[in-house]
Structure 1
Amino acid sequence: MRKIIYSKIFLLCWLVFSSVKVSADAPGDTLTVSLITCSPGTEAYELFGHTAIRIERPAKKIDIIYNYGIFSFDTPHFIYRFTKGETDYWLGIERFRDFLFSYAMRNSSVYQQSLDLTQAEANALFHALNENSLPENREYRYNFLFDNCSTRAAEMIQRHIRGELLYDSTSVQGTFRSLIHECTQPDPWLTFGIDLALGSRIDKPITFQESLFLPDNLMKAFASARIQTDTVTRKLVSRTDTLVSSEPAEPEPSTCYIPSPLFVSWIWAVCVIFLSVFQYLRGWRLRWFDTLLFSFYGLLGSLLFFLMFVSEHPATYPNYSGFWLHPFHWVVAIAIWLKSAKKIVRYYHFINFAVVMALLLLWNVIPQQFNAAFAGWMVALLVRSASHIAVEQKSRLKKRPGI
């Protein structure tokens, strides 16, 4: 911890005097462009890292960051708009030293890749970024996978290179989901939520261009990229520097234990199994329990269907989780209290049992990777339908003459 504090004090001193040093050392009115990559932070929205573009023109004392990752939690109806896929981000401009200091304070590493652009290319990019930063142009509809700070930076740089940008795409493998899992590994509940919300589209093999949605992937792609013109081929990155080197923070003593989604799901499944066995043996009705259970599943299913059919998120449909988690669970939550709806409840449980059983049996066959924690929640749902079928069958046998 002491080493981290010393490094931040040194960084602060460097930032105070950096602009003077750069102006003195750099001759002429040259403009340099760098890709800035920041390592992940601890907050959910920081787990994927960050990308920005740095522009330096020492002769005019310009040293600024173009940041496509600006948003505000104070935006009206932010949660609803985020859920619906209507979150607007914008391109912001800030002094480089302020940007660097903010990431140093959150203990993120910051890497700089100086790009070997011609002055014509650098100036064209500079003017395009300024044009893009105007109030009427700066906002864009953010999309986590296809339109974010990393993809925007990559597109702007690629567009203003006069030549063909050649990448080494041989190392690209996996899917959107596997890449997301690498980033969300520290937060299993976030992983669970993302796996629930995003459907089979993110389980297809990812293309090289699509993989650039992650800042770390963009940095690696630029490191080996080359610019090919009619006369010469040159490396895109002329130099790589580590501006801030972070160290893993010492874990703070946890005040409470947070169980994993997998643990919670199977505790839930075991409780439902025991309760269902007692129901069968002792003839309990458990209507209140089923009302709460199916209402809970129906509520989650309603949220999932909202993401699938109402939101603008491109990766939420199709989603095979919608076969076991859907708003139709509300039907049985209400119908079990109505004598006239006994047939509806019976048919519902037969269909629900068959669908959930099929999903469990075809777990490794369906074209969507389910989170391991889904199994416990699905088993609980399966057992409640099986219990209802078994109890009803037992009741029918008792009513038969001679039994």
Structure 2
Amino acid sequence: MHDHGRTPASPRLSRFIASVASLLLCCLLLWPSHAQAGVANAPGSNLEVSLVTYGPGDTYWERFGHDAIELRDTVSGEAVTFNYGVFDFDESGFLLNFARGQMHYLMDAAPSDVDQHYYTEVGRSVTRQRLAFTPAQAAEMRDYLLWNLQPENVRYEYDYYVRNCATRVRDAIDKALGGVMKPQLEARAGGMTYRQQTARLMSQQAWLMLILDLGLGPYADQPMNAWQEAFLPMELQSEVRHVTVNNAEGHAQPLVLDEQVVSPNRLDAPPATAPDLRLPLALAGLIFAILLIAAYRFAPVVYALLGSLYLVLAGLVGLALLILWTLTTHHSAWGNANLLLFNPLAFLLLAALWRSRKRLPASRFANSVIALQLLAVLAACLMHLLPGVVQQNQPWLLFALPIWLAMAWMLRKQRAPI
């Protein structure tokens, strides 16, 4: 869900180029230079540390933005950006691991002008925040990043919300600062939940926004502090402005010394708030239910086809949610209450649906399934009366409720007398 840098047309060619580029960069960084120091061997007093943030892009995997740590040697002028957003399509079992939630991402580094030129070209904003690091902290940051760039340390287990390109940058900055940033951000309340931020940033791809919202469980609705919300590059950029640190003399000062917009945004910016999906989905559910009832009366075959479409989709969605919960490590999808609304029980009603188009009564088994499904919908509604963090799935409740009520009425309308 996060922007992981450029995505060329050929993954194998991309992998080859990236490998060669990384190798050359490592050689340049680590090769001892007697004539002139560079980022790799400059004293900490010559190093500038900056947080570079790239705004959201147009493609769905770019919607969350991207960021990097820049080290600049003020004497030689050499500047290198280090980021944690690289993945390898050619990694053995990549797609299977992706589906199971066991993804491996990599750290990478590139000359700053080369890295930032790409984002400028495609119209994405580039903002550099120079940070108040002491010489010792700057040297420690450099040493950690070069250590992290080594082949045995370059990979990490990726998670959309808690281990991604922004959280790794956040953690590296906090580590070099001696851990002073984390408690300051944890003391600040976050503005949104994981679900709200996801919907806000994906709203320009409405179909994907709906799929993600449907698949997120109660984990995505927990209140966050600013440290957690800094899983987004743009939030981290905003939150570091509130952090204070001690300088070499022990005096408090802002962490951000200055902020420069290297390149302005030329793309459509995401909305400031998440869209409210309740009314659109409630209307969609109500309209579908009315269409079902009208087709039941005037076009039985159309009714059976529409009903079958809903039942098949509900069953498939339920299977997907069940798999995400039980067979993957996508913990943000665990315990999804939408399973009460869309589940494999729907498949069991297909035969009864086609019988009902001819006004034939539902079987006792079908009636039991209908009753069980209505109880599940009722349970999904009652869950919102419970205290604590409850999954915010009201839009899907409002969508499913009129359809299930209409379907239950039509399936049971011609029930045979006992």
Q: What range is the shorter-chain TM-score in? A: 0.7 to 0.9
The amino acid that maps onto 1:348 is V
- Of 276, 300, 310, 2:327 maps to 310
- Of 360, 379, 404, 1:381 maps to 404
Matched, 1:246 2:269: no
Matched, 1:216 2:234: yes
Tell me how far apart the structure 2 counterparts of residues 347 and 243 of structure 1 sit (CA, whole Å): 64
Tell me how far apart the structure 2 counterparts of residues 311 and 57 of structure 1 sit (CA, whole Å): 44
Tell me how far apart the structure 2 counterparts of residues 193 and 62 of structure 1 sit (CA, whole Å): 44
The amino acid that maps onto 1:161 is L
Deviation at 1:244, TM superposition (A): 0.7
Match of 1:55 in 2: 71
Provide the TM-score with structure 1 as the length reference.
0.78
Percent pairwise identity? 22
Q: Which runs of 5+ in 2 are unaligned?
A: 1-35, 270-276
Matched, 1:331 2:348: yes
Deviation at 1:188, TM superposition (A): 2.6
Matched, 1:227 2:242: no
Q: Which runs of 5+ in 1 are unaligned?
A: 1-22, 251-259
Shift in alpha-carbon separation, 1:73–1:335, aligned structure 2, 3 A: farther
Tell me how far apart the structure 2 counterparts of residues 156 and 84 of structure 1 sit (CA, whole Å): 27
Match of 2:211 in 1: 193
Tell me how far apart the structure 2 counterparts of residues 206 and 40 of structure 1 sit (CA, whole Å): 22
Q: Equivalences for 1:123-142 in 2 at 5 Å?
A: 123-142=139-158
Matched position secondary structure for 1:391:
coil
* Deviations, residues 29-68 of structure 1 (Å, cap 9, x unaligned): 5111111111111111111111110111244553111110
CA RMSD between the two structures? 3.5
Matched position secondary structure for 2:365:
helix
* Deviations, residues 208-237 of structure 1 (Å, cap 9, x unaligned): 321111111111121121114893323212
Matched position secondary structure for 1:328:
helix
Shift in alpha-carbon separation, 1:117–1:264, aligned structure 2, 3 A: closer
Deviation at 1:117, TM superposition (A): 0.8
- Of 377, 384, 391, 1:368 maps to 391
The amino acid that maps onto 1:245 is P
- Of 237, 240, 243, 2:256 maps to 237
Q: Is the 8 A contact 2:214 2:396 kept in 1?
A: no
Q: Is the 8 A contact 1:283 1:391 kept in 2?
A: no
The amino acid that maps onto 2:365 is I
Matched, 1:342 2:360: no
Tell me how far apart the structure 2 counterparts of residues 174 and 262 of structure 1 sit (CA, whole Å): 20
Matched position secondary structure for 1:303:
helix
Tell me how far apart the structure 2 counterparts of residues 234 and 282 of structure 1 sit (CA, whole Å): 73
Tell me how far apart the structure 1 counterparts of residues 116 and 173 of structure 2 sit (CA, whole Å): 21
Shift in alpha-carbon separation, 1:92–1:378, aligned structure 2, 3 A: farther
Q: Which has the larger radius of gyration?
A: 1
Q: Equivalences for 1:97-116 in 2 at 5 Å?
A: 97-116=113-132
Which shows bigger deviation, 156-165 or 112-121? 156-165
Deviation at 1:202, TM superposition (A): 1.7
Q: Equivalences for 1:132-171 in 2 at 5 Å?
A: 132-162=148-178, 164-165=180-181, 167=184, 169-170=187-188
Deviation at 1:288, TM superposition (A): 6.0
